[in-house]
Amino acid sequence: MNLAMDSANEKGASGAARPKPAAGRRNLAAVPARPAARENTPPREGAPKTPAKPAVASPIKNLALAELRPVTPVTTSSPVAKRSRWRWLLFLVAFVVPASIGSLYYGFWASDQYVAEFRFIVRAPNDLQSAATGASGSSGAGAVGSSASALSIMRDSYVVSEYLSSRQVVEDLVARGVDLRAMFSHADVDWWARFNPDRPEEDLVRYWRRMVEAYFDIQTGIVWVTIHAFAPNDAERLARELVALSEKLVNDMSMRARTDAVAFAKAEVERAAHRVSVTRETLRDFRARNRLVDPTGTAQQSLELAGKMKAEIARLNAELSTLRTYLSPDAPSVLQLRNLIKSLEQQMAEARADVGDVGVEGADPNKLAELMAKYEALRVDHQVAQKFYEFTLLALDTAVRDAARQQSYIVSFVKPVTPTKSTYPNRPVSILIVIASCAAFWLVCLLVGYSIRDHMV
Amino acid sequence: MALDVTLPQRADRRRGWLRSEGRTIGALLLRALRLKFRESRLSYVLAVAEPCLQFGVLFVLFSIIGRHPGFGDSLVLFLASGIIPFFLFTHLSGRIANSLRAAQPMSPLRVVSSLNLAAAQAILEFVTIIIFMVIVLSLLAILGVHGAIPADPIELVCGVVAVGLFAFGVGLINSALYALFRIWTLIYGVASRSLIFISGVFYAPELYLPPAYRDILVWNPVLHGLSWFRTAIYPTYPQNMLDRGYLLACALAAIAAGVVLDRVIGRVVRR
């Protein structure tokens, strides 16, 4: 490439004019001067920094001119042809070839793509409820409720939009009988846009991400989904399947949340019920072992009985002594009375023994108190267990009600329809973009080339 | 320095223009390095410290006013993910013009063109910001900020290069316009400083912009650069506004316009 020729021909004038501004600002040239100085003279010898400035600057001027001059007399066989060759080559490589390939592709070759779209929002029924409570005055609770539900809606929307471009959705679609590989690798689809059906699953997922676009607009809460396919029916079918899958996902998620919450509450109830039955069992065992239903009541009864018997015995004794004043000790009524008193005394002793030590002889008066303390502890345990059980039942009830309220669902307000006209690729615009970017690329290369050439030594 | 600072000889022509260009740019790079802080011996250390300090001040201010991060759980990481690409853009695009102005006395040097001057300056600024980025991110990673190590390093490199290319193109346009109107640096200085508010440095435009404003701001290529960078940092950053092709197209258009302007205006002005 004979670039020097060019610069001599074209830039001779401007090159000669070039040193002019530098002459005016010569004193500023100290820094660029140093490399040049090293070239010509040993660097540090004659050049202490400041005073050398003008002295160093003028060699540069000379150098620049000197480097310029010898370029002129170079001769070649056909300078014009050589000069324009690289430009033509560049024009061809950087503009004509890519632009024509791109234009031909978009103009004639690229297969039509049909775009189906749908939009939906994720709703939760407690939206309305919390809004109502917010409006009715309990603003704090309402705000908290609505922000919590907004958060869950936001999360669900994000989840759906992530899901729609994930590997999972590809597998789910295939599981639902949508043959994605066949759909994207039709024989009449152009080679560039076609999916090679022999490629592994990962490539299919990457390809899928190119064909589907799902994003969640946090300001409006709308999830937008667009699907590209090579046939209008395919696009519509894919869109419908995606709507169904999104619905299923959201339902599964809210179902899961619901069943989780309810299952937890149910487990709690079961635990409480078990505890109640255990405490009841111990209480019953205690009673059975000690042959009593209610030790407190038993003790009282025994004492009352003993007291009554004592009174009775006293009364009978008084009667006996009265009888003894006029009857012989062997008189039948005296004997009868004596027997009665005796058996009463025996029974009283038994009743007393009951109070002192229930069911066991050798009465220990502390035993009943001990027993009662034990009994009280067991009874309180049982009562607590029962209360807890009641509480968990209530919680289960609330959980079931909450779960019913938290069931979020999808409202798709733009339903997928069969596209009737191919809207992608937009051929004129694509061709324009290709041409414009190739032109820009070529321009950059050309002008950079010019700049390099002009400033070649 | 291993770089050879001698002027390319005529013998170089045989060895190719690429080598000659490379040596010229290398020489200009060293010169720019020396020029950057002539007064101080620390020179380049200061050049790196400058954005670090700016970032530090910004972070301190924002944590004092108790601002929440626009995305993720770390304010400092969020600010860093906005500031790094933003500084990359402003430093590159703003300083190329200055460097060309400062290099005017070199115009008699035949090998020095405005393009390789601009390239040298751009490389210097680019490397400075990259060092700044590495310092900030590794510091955050050492301090245990969760997620400071980029989720997708290749994406990070691509994003940084794309922003760099765009900034280089804008810098070329700036230097050409500066040659026409001397007041242009002032105008651009104001414009690039207000750019910080519409590029989403302090907030995540994907999340907190109403659709009406979003439709306008989405035309700002710097915003795409920030989005790209954040996509590389955060694995779950929303990508609904990011259009990589748009940023690259803008970069190409800016470079093309810059090169054309440089040539056209350069001719007019040099007379």
For chain B, give every domain's residue range: 16-270
Q: Which residue of A has its CA nearest to B250?
A: A437
Are A437 and B267 inside 8 Å of each other by CB? Answer: no
Looking at residue B50, its pLDDT comes to 87
Query: Distance between CA A136 and CA B205 in Å, rounded?
Result: 34
Are A36 and B21 inside 8 Å of each other by CB? Answer: no
DSSP state of A293: S
Q: Is B259 on the interface with A (CB under 8 A)?
A: yes
Any idea where the domains of chain A sit in the sequence? 3-106+442-454, 111-265+409-432, 273-401
Query: What sign results for the dihedral spanned by CA atoms A36, A37, A42, A44?
Result: negative
A449 to each of A195, A438, B118, B171, how far by Cα in Å? 40, 16, 15, 19
Cβ(A216)–Cβ(A157) below 8 Å: yes
Residue A328: is it exposed, middle or buried by C-beta count within 10 angstroms (0-12/13-18/19+)?
exposed
Are B253 and A440 inside 8 Å of each other by CB? Answer: yes
List CB contacts (< 8 A) between B29 and chain A. none
Are A18 and B108 inside 8 Å of each other by CB? Answer: yes
- 3-class DSSP state of A11: coil
Q: Please state the φ and ψ torsions of residue A45, each to the nearest 5 degrees.
A: -70, -65
Name the stretches of chain B with pLDDT < 50.
1-2, 12, 14
Tokens of A175: 């599981």
- Count CA atoms closer than 13 A to A423's CA, side-chain side: 11
List CB contacts (< 8 A) between B99 and chain A. none
Rg of the Cα trace of chain B? Answer: 20
Are B13 and A457 inside 8 Å of each other by CB? Answer: yes
Question: How far is Cα of residue A224 from the mean position of the Cα atoms in its chain?
Answer: 19
Cβ(A281)–Cβ(A378) below 8 Å: no
Name the stretches of chain A with pLDDT < 50.
1-77, 130-145, 358-363
Q: Which of B12, B21, B110 to mutate to test the interface with A (most CBs of A within 10 A)?
A: B110
Cβ(A423)–Cβ(A417) below 8 Å: no
Of B106, B238, B253, the CB nearest to A32: B106
Are A452 and B5 inside 8 Å of each other by CB? Answer: no
Query: Distance between CA A113 and CA A211 in Å, rounded?
Result: 10
Q: Is B15 on the interface with A (CB under 8 A)?
A: no
The 3-class secondary structure across chain B, one letter per residue, is CCCCCCCCCHHHHHHCHHHHHHHHHHHHHHHHHHHHCCCCCCCHHHHHHHHHHHHHHHHHHHHHCCCCCCCCCCHHHHHHHHHHHHHHHHHHHHHHHHHHHHCHHHCCCCCCCHHHHHHHHHHHHHHHHHHHHHHHHHHHHHCCCCCCCCCCHHHHHHHHHHHHHHHHHHHHHHHHHHHHCCCHHHHHHHHHHHHHHHCCCCCCHHHHCCHHHHHHHCCCHHHHHHHHHHHHHCCCCCCCCCCHHHHHHHHHHHHHHHHHHHHHHHHHHHC
- 3-class DSSP state of A455: coil
Tokens of B85: 């690409």
Where do the DSSP E strands lie in A221-351? 222-229
List CB contacts (< 8 A) between B20 and chain A. 456-457
Are A18 and B107 inside 8 Å of each other by CB? Answer: yes
Closest CA to A333 of A342, A320, A317: A320
- 3-class DSSP state of A120: strand
Q: From its phi and psi, is residue A221 left (phi > 0), alpha (psi between -120 and 50) or beta? A: left
Sheet holding A114-123, edge to edge: A212-217, A222-229, A114-123, A409-414
Are B108 and A441 inside 8 Å of each other by CB? Answer: no
Look up the ipTM and state it. Answer: 0.78
Question: Domain A111-265+409-432, what architecture?
Answer: 2-Layer Sandwich (3.30)
Q: Which of B4, B7, B114 to mutate to test the interface with A (most CBs of A within 10 A)?
A: B7
Q: What residues 196-225 of chain B have any CB closer than 8 A to a CB of chain A?
A: 206-207, 209-211, 214
Of A18, A220, A444, the CB nearest to B211: A220
Q: Is B182 on the interface with A (CB under 8 A)?
A: no
Q: Which residue of B has its CA nearest to A451?
A: B113
Q: Which of B20, B37, B109 to mutate to test the interface with A (most CBs of A within 10 A)?
A: B109
Of B105, B111, B214, the CB nearest to A25: B105
Closest CA to A348 of A319, A323, A317: A317
Looking at residue A292, its pLDDT comes to 65
Of A63, A444, A455, the CB nearest to B259: A444
Q: Is B245 on the interface with A (CB under 8 A)?
A: no
Query: What sign results for the dihedral spanned by CA atoms B129, B131, B136, B137?
Result: positive
Are B255 and A440 inside 8 Å of each other by CB? Answer: yes
B101: which residues sit within 8 A by CB, 6+ positions away? B175, B178
Tokens of A316: 């009978």
Q: Which residue of A has its CA nearest to B38?
A: A31
Are B211 and A67 inside 8 Å of each other by CB? Answer: no
Looking at residue A127, its pLDDT comes to 53
- Torsion angle, CA of B181/B183/B185/B190, rounded to 10 degrees? -130
List CB contacts (< 8 A) between A18 and chain B. 107-108, 110, 270
List CB contacts (< 8 A) between B8 and chain A. 457
Looking at residue A104, its pLDDT comes to 92
Query: Distance between CA A306 and CA A300 in Å, rounded?
Result: 10
